[in-house]
């Protein structure tokens, strides 16, 4: 349930309503917007006597939220969420560019890529240390050593780190080692992991599952937010359909759908979505035009010899060209790179 206060409601009147709701055994999240204050109410609102709320002169209206996701719901939080990470952020007018290799392979490799993508305009460095692979015989990543190399790249460039977490037992180390914890598509419904991340203070980048609906995706975000961590960033990375030409099918319609349903920022990963390096640029431009808050791009200095996902990786020079073209697209839709 949400309680929408009148624009002229004073802070004392808002506090009065909050106290009444808490007195009914309900929890309340206060969202102060530009035009009015919205109170998100969680708990058993069916049995609680909330009928008198609308009689308060400071209350505009009371609405029931029918969707199962509450905290991630735009009705609950009308203004867009901007997730702050250090001196930068994801959400808002400025687009976020997360760039780097699928997997960290060596100190020379990750530092070279980090320096070059930063020079081109990247705002975050991505790199896989723990790699969930379909085959148990494929390269599984450098793991803890890979995280240490990412930290070295951050020391040299200042770029915040985004890396994927696979196990709840590694949460504490990731909180120390990275700036944004990524939950991969295969773990989107790993509820034990999501609950653990709900107790974390680190921003979470939540990728959409291989064949998950938008509501299932938002419910996974709800798991994290219900635990107390509301710094969630959604990532559309393509879903599995009957089409086999591309690696996945990039669901661009998910971007405006998320913008309508939720206040959470959304970035798009055109690299995993298509699986083809030559598709990354047009799909990146389309994602920005559709309203995405940023992009996650796989960049490798030697794609042909990459240990993971070489065919979908672009070179640092190609990334520089991509950023220049994105500036034009961003300007058209009132955003900036």
**From start to end of 202-270, where are the E strands?**
204-207, 232-236, 266-268
CA angle 153, 158, 162 (to 5 degrees): 65
Share of residues in the chain with pLDDT > 90 (%): 72
pLDDT band at 44 (very low <50, low <70, confident <90, very high): confident
**The pLDDT of residue 112:** 97
User: 3-state class of 65 per DSSP?
Assistant: coil
pLDDT band at 137 (very low <50, low <70, confident <90, very high): low
Residues with Cβ within 8 Å of residue 309, at least 6 apart in sequence: 102, 103, 271, 272, 275, 298
pLDDT band at 34 (very low <50, low <70, confident <90, very high): confident
Lowest-confidence segment of 12-16, 41-45, 86-90, 234-238 by average pLDDT: 41-45
pLDDT digits (tens, 9 = 90+) for 52-69: 788 889 998 888 888 889
Tell me what the mean pLDDT of segment 23-47 comes to: 84
pLDDT digits (tens, 9 = 90+) for 274-294: 999 999 999 999 999 999 999
- Bridging pattern class, strands 2-5 and 37-42: antiparallel
Which among 317, 305, 251 has a CA at the least distance from the CA of 281?
317
**The pLDDT of residue 90:** 97
Paired tokens of 161: 């780190």
Return d(Cα 219, Cα 71) in angstroms, integer: 10
Return d(Cα 232, Cα 213) in angstroms, integer: 18
Whether pLDDT at 141 is above 80: no
**The pLDDT of residue 195:** 96
pLDDT band at 32 (very low <50, low <70, confident <90, very high): confident
Whether pLDDT at 48 is above 80: no
pLDDT band at 50 (very low <50, low <70, confident <90, very high): confident
pLDDT band at 133 (very low <50, low <70, confident <90, very high): low
- What H or E segment, with its residue span, contains residue 181? strand 180-183
Tell me what the mean pLDDT of segment 126-133 comes to: 83
Return d(Cα 283, Cα 44) in angstroms, integer: 44
Q: Which domains does the chain have, with CATH numbers?
A: 2-63 (3.30.70.1140), 83-332 (3.20.20.70)
Whether pLDDT at 14 is above 70: yes
**The pLDDT of residue 153:** 97
- The listed range with the strongest mean pLDDT (17-26, 52-61, 99-108) is 99-108
- What H or E segment, with its residue span, contains residue 332? helix 316-332
pLDDT band at 313 (very low <50, low <70, confident <90, very high): very high
pLDDT band at 304 (very low <50, low <70, confident <90, very high): very high
Lowest-confidence segment of 24-28, 113-117, 170-174, 249-253 by average pLDDT: 24-28
């Amino acid at each position: 349930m949400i309680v929408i206060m009148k624009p002229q409601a004073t802070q004392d009147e808002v506090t009065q309503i909050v106290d009444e709701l808490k007195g009914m055994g309900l929890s309340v999240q206060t969202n102060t917007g530009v035009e009015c204050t919205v109170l998100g109410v969680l708990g058993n609102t069916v049995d609680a006597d909330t009928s008198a709320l609308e009689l308060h002169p400071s209350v505009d209206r009371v609405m029931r939220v029918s969707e199962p996701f509450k905290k991630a719901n735009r009705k609950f939080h009308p203004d867009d969420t901007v997730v702050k990470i250090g001196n930068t952020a994801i959400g808002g007018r400025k687009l976020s560019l997360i760039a780097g290799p699928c997997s960290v392979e060596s100190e020379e490799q990750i530092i070279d890529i980090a320096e070059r993508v930063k020079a081109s305009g990247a705002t975050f460095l991505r790199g896989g240390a723990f790699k969930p692979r379909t085959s148990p015989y494929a390269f599984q990543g450098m793991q803890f050593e890979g995280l240490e190399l990412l930290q070295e790249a951050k020391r040299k460039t200042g770029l915040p780190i985004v890396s994927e977490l696979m196990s709840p037992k590694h949460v504490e180390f990731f909180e120390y080692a990275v700036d944004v914890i990524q939950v991969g598509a295969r773990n989107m419904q790993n509820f034990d992991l999501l609950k653990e991340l709900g107790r974390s203070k680190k921003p979470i980048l939540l990728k959409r599952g291989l064949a998950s609906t938008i509501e299932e995706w938002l419910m996974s975000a709800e798991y994290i937010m219900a635990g107390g961590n509301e710094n969630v960033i959604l990532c559309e990375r393509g879903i599995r359909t009957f089409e086999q030409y591309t690696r996945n099918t990039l669901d661009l319609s998910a971007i405006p759908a998320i913008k309508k349903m939720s206040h959470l920022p959304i970035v798009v990963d055109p690299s995993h979505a298509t699986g083809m390096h030559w598709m990354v640029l047009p799909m990146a431009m389309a994602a920005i035009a559709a309203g995405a808050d940023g992009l996650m791009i796989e960049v490798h200095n030697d794609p042909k010899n990459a240990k993971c996902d070489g065919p979908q990786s672009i070179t640092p020079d190609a990334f520089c060209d991509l950023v220049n073209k994105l500036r034009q697209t961003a300007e058209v839709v009132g955003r900036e790179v």
